[in-house]
Amino acid sequence: MSTIVLFHHVQGLTAGVVSIADELRRAGHTVHTPDLFDARTFTTIEDGMAHAREVGFDTLLERGVAAAEGHSSAVYAGFSLGVMPAQRLAQTRADARGALLLHACLPVSEFGERWPEGVPVQVHGMDADPFFAEEGGDIDAARELVASTEAAELFLYPGEEHLFTDSSLPAFDPAATALVLERALRLLDAL
């Protein structure tokens, strides 16, 4: 079984994020859910983004890296904003075992020259999500990642919701989330 460090999205450590962590725990994995927002949650992406800008993205990234200290040989996972620390840790920690990037993907060049050999990664997003597929270029970064290594998989789901795996938000898509979990557990079981 794997140790997973799971970073929340821009609306904070919501009940929906905890629910995904609990599903992974039920499958036998140890899951840590650092709270980068000090127990604050936000009802909208916009409010969460305003808070993230106020705190500073670099500060949030460093909080995420610090929260992973003491968790060796881990799989790093993140929802949207949480992909920043998850991807950095997966790319820079020599003992990283894998990565699950939900709703976002950064260019590999953000944290190194290439994706580390032997570190499997899955990227999950909706094909019409304006944050993932259009606006931010995350889908292009995900496609470049998949083209650069056999260890990467990109899964696209029909729809336009951003945080579709969070059961505590209106964007929740139960069928797509079940498929995300099935695929994520397949990766984790192979480690």
- Say which CATH number the domain at 80 has: 3.40.50.1820
Q: What is the pLDDT, as a whole number, of residue 135?
A: 61
Q: What is the pLDDT, as a whole number, of residue 81?
A: 98
* Cα dihedral across residues 53, 57, 58, 61: positive or negative: positive
With contact defined as beta carbons under 8 Å apart, do 119 and 49 qualify?
no
Asked if the structure places residue 162 within a domain, the reply is yes
Q: What is the pLDDT, as a whole number, of residue 137?
A: 82
Find residue 154's DSSP bridge partners: 123
Find residue 99's DSSP bridge partners: 76, 121
Q: What is the pLDDT, as a whole number, of residue 5?
A: 98
> CA triplet 61, 188, 97: central angle to 5 degrees?
50
pLDDT tens digits in sequence order for the chain, 191 residues long: 999 999 999 999 999 999 999 999 999 999 999 999 999 999 999 999 999 999 999 999 999 999 999 999 999 999 999 999 999 999 999 999 999 999 999 999 999 999 999 999 999 999 999 999 986 689 999 999 999 999 999 999 999 999 999 999 999 999 999 999 999 999 999 99
* Cα dihedral across residues 84, 87, 88, 93: positive or negative: positive
Q: Give, in order, the Cα–Cα distances in Å from 5 to each of 47, 67, 126, 133, 171.
A: 25, 9, 23, 25, 23
Asked if the structure places residue 30 within a domain, the reply is yes
Number of domains in the chain: 1
**How far, in Å, CA of 62 to CA of 143, rounded?**
26
Asked if the structure places residue 165 within a domain, the reply is yes
Q: Give the domain extent around 126.
A: 3-138+157-189
Q: What is the pLDDT, as a whole number, of residue 136?
A: 60
Phi, psi of 85, deg, nearest 5 = -70, -35
